[in-house]
Chains A and B, each alone.
Chain A
Amino acid sequence: MTFFNVEKIRKEFPILGQEVRSGVPLVYLDSTATAQKPAVVIDAMDNYYRTTNANIHRGVHYLAEKATSEYEAARLKIANFINANKPREIIYTRNTTESINLVAQSWGRSFLKQGDLIILTEMEHHSNLVPWHMLAQEKDLRLEFIPVTEDGELDQVVYDRLLDEGPKLVAFSHMSNVLGTINPAQEIVRKAKLAGAVTLIDGAQSVPHFDVSVKELGVDFLAFSAHKMVGPTGIGVLWGREELLNAMPPFLGGGDMIKKVLLRSFIPNELPYKFEAGTPAIAEAIGFGAAIDFLNSVGMDNIATHEHALVQSALIKLKTIPSLQVLGENAVNRGGVVSFTLAGIHPHDVAQILDQYGIAIRAGHHCAMPLHDKYGIPASSRASFYLYNTEAEVDHLVETLHKVTEMFA
């Protein structure tokens, strides 16, 4: 375990030294929406554009070869990061959302048929709902949902019952972006496999925050986004088992994803290129590789431990605000996210007043409307923590929330 020094880490992130308004330093508690970037990531892309920029794969000149090998080196880093067997199982996409759509449209459209059952959960992000809504409508599929209990966990009893109905796919988020609940992914996958279902994990909130191994999970597909793990916008990953990816038809058509093109037909390329049509996000892949290096240098276990400490302390301190209600407060296993409501005060007002004090939190449905419907609320406020947040920031949050309640008293 490497030594973890949050003040040293903060220095690596240029934005964190900034004042939002004169005299008001930034307190960034919105990493669940997107993470901040360390200088090494920003510089990797800057450097790429200043010294290496070229289109990849098809080029035989110096820059093209250098760009290609850096682009592919990043793929290997990502494969190792999630303990994948082969870099060719790493498909670059734009984000988690596109990764899940790729599975829905390529795998789902080919392998699911009328009446087939997909199991999702009530705590899903819209990214792991709407692609299935679209597919279900097109192919007349059935969607069922593992309910969320009062404690903010998945109801395993109902899940077991749903498994009896012979699902073809079980797709769920590893960690809720609203409740912070870390779901027992390995167990969910194990049961799904026994029931003969293919499994997909929305890893948008897990891969950035703790060690995730696709081998240990036993899952078939894993989706995540670079921008939530100190990497750039514009790039995400779909990891899939090679056999499954090989059996799937292409998703988008165009350059690079083909082996051969005739006027009226084409032969798709090998993995991973089959799924990477057109000029990809080259600089972003290289930035993503730098982000992986950075996270590895800090250590994913250190990050998870740090966040755990912050969120536990936040949960205790937030109890000093009587009108504050945490969503899914009692989840046993939770990551660095706290969503809450303040009686009589709309989350947008909370977020805006906190912003006056330099504190950036999210307010809204956090792209999880069905979960908010379940709680009978249209919106909540959400504070989230990452490797660069401090105990002092937690205190600042709690103090300022006290002020908010006073303003509206």
Chain B
Amino acid sequence: MSNNSPADSAERPGTEDPLTQALLWENQKERLSDAGEAEPSLMVDVDGFEGPLDLLLALARSQKVDLAKISILALAEQYLSFIQEARRMRLELAADYLVMAAWLAYLKSRLLLPDIKDDEDELTGEELAAALAFRLRRLEAMRDAAARLMARPRLGQEVFARGDPEHVVTIRHSTYAANLYDLLTAYASQRQRNSVTSVQVKKRAVWSLQEAKDLLVRMLGKVSDWTPIDDFLVQYFATPDQKATVMASSFTASLEMVREGLLELRQSNHFEPLYVRTPEATNNEPIE
């Protein structure tokens, strides 16, 4: 039935080697052209083809003429008889091969029948044939281009780069971006944040009125002469905030004691020192 040995055809699909494929391709082409139309059964093996266009191209090359001058009509007939043969043998063909067959049958009819110009937009048979010829030429051109690319002296195959490159050592310098606004914002916000978190209410040392009065009673018991009140209090003026509370409390206490007749106060003028003594009447004990 087929001239292809089973081993030959089995080898074809799995092959990845482009060179081997190219050789197979050449073999196939030769077989196609040698056999001609006398033995169409030869061409039924479609395993080695990459779709209907590829098959058409192989058939076209079997015409041994320039693709530009190829007879599309003959090509269409060749393809159709190929498909017919395949069907006769009940071979399974992929759908796209059949679609192409249908299209070629249509093309054939358009080429054989005189052109009926019923639709301006419709392409004539010749135009359709030219389009197909173009596609075949273009596919072949791309195939040739691939071969020419692979035939170039390639890096790592035929030409070589420096095997031991001396790599550039990158020394990184960082430059930092920050402007005055960033700086001030950072300062202001952290000052503010911190002022909120660190406010502590200090426990203030406060003399109560009673404490001041007790102190005055103890100290003034033996004062018969006018004496500046500060002289008694100075020993408690250790810190400024204590001074304030001592003065305030003892002044208030002294006023209270005057009202009670326990004490006399004298001040010559505003902001002058305040003098204090025990009243004569109650000054029962001589101090001297």
Are A and B subunits of one complex? no
